[in-house]
Structure formats: structure tokens, C-alpha cells
């Protein structure tokens, strides 16, 4: 099925702010040298936002819409 308004929805989070000081550590992307659950979660959400932005830059003129959303806060094992 074709769409006149194709879109990609990226599920991210406002938790990307957890990386505002350090950004993404591309030298240790798998967190093998240093692991912090909040930093790692924030890094993954920042990467998703950057991906959504790059999709917008590359494909917006072709009609593709790239949307990043924050679904809300839920209790998971990462915060318990």
C-alpha cells in the first residue's frame, strides 16, 4: 500500500537530556569500559533523536515525514 504522506515515527524520550554534559561516547558505544544505566539510556534516546533528525534532513523533500515522540513515563526495571 502506498501513502501520499509517508512517515516514520521514532520512539524516543526526554531522557536524552541525561547525556547533555557528555554526549555520545563513540569510543565506548557498547559501554564496555564504563556503564551507568541512566547515562546509557539517555545515550540511546539521544541517538534516536539524531536518527530522526537525519531522516528529516535526507528525505523531507521527497515527502517523507520523520517524527520523534516521547510516549510518557512508565515504571520499568531501570528506575526501580
Active-site pick, 20, 35, 41, 59: 41
DSSP 24: -
Residues 6 or more apart whose CB falls under 8 angstroms from that of 48 comprise 10, 11, 12, 16, 68
Question: What's the CA gap between 58 and 52, in Å, rounded?
Answer: 10
Q: Is 41 a catalytic residue?
A: yes
Alpha-carbon dihedral of residues 25, 70, 64, 54, nearest 10 degrees?
A: -10
Indicate which residues carry an active-site annotation.
41
Amino acid at each position: 500500500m502506498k501513502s501520499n504522506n509517508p512517515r516514520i515515527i521514532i520512539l524516543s524520550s526526554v531522557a536524552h537530556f541525561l547525556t547533555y554534559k557528555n554526549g555520545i561516547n563513540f569510543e565506548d558505544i557498547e559501554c564496555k569500559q564504563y556503564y551507568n544505566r541512566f547515562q546509557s539510556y539517555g545515550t540511546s534516546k539521544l541517538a534516536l533523536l539524531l536518527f530522526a533528525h537525519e531522516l528529516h534532513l535526507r528525505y523531507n523533500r521527497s515527502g517523507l515525514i520523520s517524527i520523534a515522540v516521547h510516549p510518557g513515563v512508565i515504571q520499568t526495571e531501570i528506575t526501580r
